[in-house]
């Protein structure tokens, strides 16, 4: 009987993950020929229950051996509020404005030049806490692949 109740509760829990529409990194000019590289992202609640008090810590990596860093002046996690079943919420992580359009073009032609790392936390039914880490890398042909979140944590700024 307990097993059936546990299975029913799992079925009704929220399930947050990267949304089904994944944007590519882009370049925005800021001052002169310098600009920021940004990666817009979204998370969707694919579960049946509402995800409460959702927080996301978002990081971007430039260069295959670079560190995952938060947006400038972003000191910690961002709060997204509640996300009902079937709904999506969006965010953006960006670099310091130190890149040129030619830097971005060169990086765009390189495998693994851009990485996105999201650490998502939220509460479900019975105040059960969930944590999910998602790590993505962009390929030079435009494709985006999933990377091992545990490996990505090792390259996150402290």
Alpha-carbon distance values, 34 to 72, 104, 116 (Å): 15, 10, 21
Rounded-to-5 percentages of helix, strand, coil across the chain: 15, 45, 35
| pLDDT tens-digit readout, 44-74 | 999 999 999 999 999 999 998 899 999 999 9
Is 55 inside a domain boundary? yes
Is 11 inside a domain boundary? no
Is 31 inside a domain boundary? yes
CATH number at residue 72: 2.60.40.10
| pLDDT tens-digit readout, 105-148 | 999 999 999 999 999 999 999 999 999 999 999 998 889 999 99
Alpha-carbon distance values, 56 to 46, 61, 105, 140 (Å): 16, 16, 29, 27
Is 116 inside a domain boundary? yes
Alpha helix segments (H runs only) across the chain: 2-12, 101-108, 149-153
pTM, rounded to two decimals: 0.92
């Amino acid at each position: 009987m307990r097993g059936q109740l546990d299975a029913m509760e799992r079925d009704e829990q929220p399930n947050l993950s990267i949304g089904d529409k994944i944007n590519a990194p882009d370049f925005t000019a800021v001052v002169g020929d310098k600009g920021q590289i940004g990666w817009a992202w979204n998370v969707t609640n694919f579960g049946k229950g509402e995800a409460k008090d959702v927080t996301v810590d978002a990081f971007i990596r430039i260069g295959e051996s670079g560190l995952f860093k938060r947006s400038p002046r972003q000191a910690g996690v961002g709060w997204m509020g509640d996300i009902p079943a079937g709904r999506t919420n969006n965010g953006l992580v960006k670099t310091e404005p130190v890149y040129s359009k030619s830097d971005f073009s060169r990086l765009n032609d390189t495998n693994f030049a851009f990485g996105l790392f999201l650490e998502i936390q939220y509460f479900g039914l019975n105040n059960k806490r969930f944590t999910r880490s998602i790590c993505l890398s962009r390929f030079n042909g435009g494709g985006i692949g999933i990377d091992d979140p545990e490996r990505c944590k090792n390259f996150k700024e402290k």
